[in-house]
Amino acid sequence: MNETKVRELQAVAKQLRCNVLEMIGVGKAGHWGGSVSLAETMAVLYFNTMRVDRNNPKNPERDRLLLSKGHAALIQYAALCELGFFPREELKKVKSLNGLLQGHPDLTVPGIEAVTGSLGQGLSLGVGMSLALRLDKSPSHVYVIMGDGEQSEGQLWE
pLDDT score at 29 = 65
Torsion sign, CA atoms 117, 121, 126, 131: negative
Rounded CA gap, 45 and 63, in Å? 10
pLDDT digits (tens, 9 = 90+) for 68-105: 998 899 999 999 999 999 999 999 999 888 999 988 88
- List the Cα angle 153/155/158 in 5-degree steps: 80
Cβ count within 10 A of residue 62: 18
pLDDT score at 65 = 98
The answer to whether residues 15 and 82 touch, using CB atoms and an 8 Å cutoff, is yes
Rounded CA gap, 149 and 135, in Å? 32
Closest CA to 104 of 158, 140, 147: 147
Which pTM value belongs to this model? 0.93
What's the chain's average pLDDT? 92
**Per-residue pLDDT averaged across 116-137, rounded?**
92
The pLDDT of residue 27 is above 70: no
The answer to whether residues 110 and 32 touch, using CB atoms and an 8 Å cutoff, is no
